[in-house]
Chain A
Amino acid sequence: MRVSFTVNGRRHEADDVWEGESLLFVLRERLGLPGSKNACEQGECGSCTVRLDGEVVCACLVAAGQAQGREVRTVEGLADGAGPPGGLAPIQQAFVDAGAVQCGFCTPGLLVTADALLERQPSPSDADIREALSGNLCRCTGYEKILDAVRLAAARSAAGAAPTAPGPEAPPAPRSEPEPGE
Chain B
Amino acid sequence: MRTLRYQRPEGVEAAVSAVNATPGARYLGGGTNLVDLMKLGVETPDLLVDVSGLPHHDIEELPGGGVRIGAAVRNSDLAADPLVRTRYPVVSQALLAGASDQLRNVATVGGNLLQRTRCLYFQDAGKPCNKRAPGTGCPAIEGVHRNLAILGASPHCVATHPSDLAVALAALDAQVLVEGGTGPREIPLTELHRLPGDRPERDTVLEHGDLITHVRLPAAPEAVNSAYRKARDRASFAFALSSVGAALEVRDGLVHRVRLALGGVAPKPWRARAAEERLRGAPATPEAFTRAVEAELSVAEPLRDNAFKVPLTRHLAVRVLCDLAGRAGGPR
Report A's interface with B, CB cutoff 8 A.
1, 18-20, 22, 41-43, 46, 49, 52, 55-58, 60-63, 65-66, 68, 113, 116, 130-132, 134-136, 182
Interface string of B227-239 (1 = CB under 8 A from A): 0000000011100
Interface string of B259-285 (1 = CB under 8 A from A): 000000000000000000000000000
* Known contacts A19-B48, A56-B105; A135/B100 CB under 8 A: yes
Min CB distance B32 to A, Å, is 5
With A41-B39, A116-B101, A130-B235 already in contact, 8 other A-B pairs whose C-beta atoms are closer than 8 Å? A43-B32, A43-B103, A55-B76, A61-B30, A63-B31, A132-B101, A134-B100, A134-B235
B8 contact set on A, CB distance < 8 A: 65, 68
Q: For the complex, is B102 an interface residue (Cβ under 8 Å from A)?
A: yes
Contact A20 B2 (CB under 8 A): yes
Q: For the complex, is B35 an interface residue (Cβ under 8 Å from A)?
A: yes
A22 contact set on B, CB distance < 8 A: 35
Contact A135 B106 (CB under 8 A): no
A131 to B52 Cα, complex, angstroms: 27
Q: For the complex, is B332 an interface residue (Cβ under 8 Å from A)?
A: no
In the A-B complex, list the 5 residue pairs whose CB atoms are closest, starting with the nearest: A135-B100, A134-B236, A19-B6, A55-B105, A19-B4
* Known contacts A43-B102, A46-B102, A131-B236; A19/B38 CB under 8 A: no
A182 contact set on B, CB distance < 8 A: 235
Query: A135: nearest residue on chain B (CB-CB)?
Result: B100
Interface residues in B23-46 (C-beta closer than 8 Å to A): 28, 30-32, 35-36, 38-40
Contact A43 B237 (CB under 8 A): no
Interface string of B48-65 (1 = CB under 8 A from A): 101010000000000000
B2 contact set on A, CB distance < 8 A: 20
Contact A63 B101 (CB under 8 A): no
Interface residues in B77-126 (C-beta closer than 8 Å to A): 99-103, 105-106
Contact A20 B38 (CB under 8 A): yes
Contact A113 B39 (CB under 8 A): no
Q: For the complex, is B5 an interface residue (Cβ under 8 Å from A)?
A: yes
A18 contact set on B, CB distance < 8 A: 1, 4
Question: Could you list 28 A-B pairs, sorted by A, with CB under 8 Å?
Answer: A19-B6, A20-B4, A20-B38, A42-B39, A43-B32, A43-B100, A43-B102, A55-B76, A55-B106, A56-B101, A56-B102, A57-B102, A57-B103, A61-B32, A61-B106, A63-B28, A63-B48, A65-B6, A66-B28, A130-B235, A130-B236, A131-B236, A132-B101, A134-B101, A134-B235, A134-B237, A135-B99, A135-B100
Contact A57 B106 (CB under 8 A): yes
B76 contact set on A, CB distance < 8 A: 55
A135 to B236 Cα, complex, angstroms: 9
A57 to B35 Cα, complex, angstroms: 14
Contact A63 B105 (CB under 8 A): no
A68 contact set on B, CB distance < 8 A: 8
Contact B36 A43 (CB under 8 A): yes
Query: B74: nearest residue on chain A (CB-CB)?
Result: A55
Contact B102 A113 (CB under 8 A): yes
Residue with the highest number of chain B CB atoms closer than 10 Å, among A60, A131, A135:
A135
B5 contact set on A, CB distance < 8 A: 19
B31 contact set on A, CB distance < 8 A: 61-63, 66
A49 contact set on B, CB distance < 8 A: 102
Residue with the highest number of chain A CB atoms closer than 10 Å, among B32, B50, B52:
B32
Contact B105 A1 (CB under 8 A): no
A56 contact set on B, CB distance < 8 A: 101-102, 105
Min CB distance A114 to B, Å, is 11
B36 contact set on A, CB distance < 8 A: 41-43, 61
A113 contact set on B, CB distance < 8 A: 101-102
Residue with the highest number of chain A CB atoms closer than 10 Å, among B2, B32, B35:
B35
A135 to B101 Cα, complex, angstroms: 7
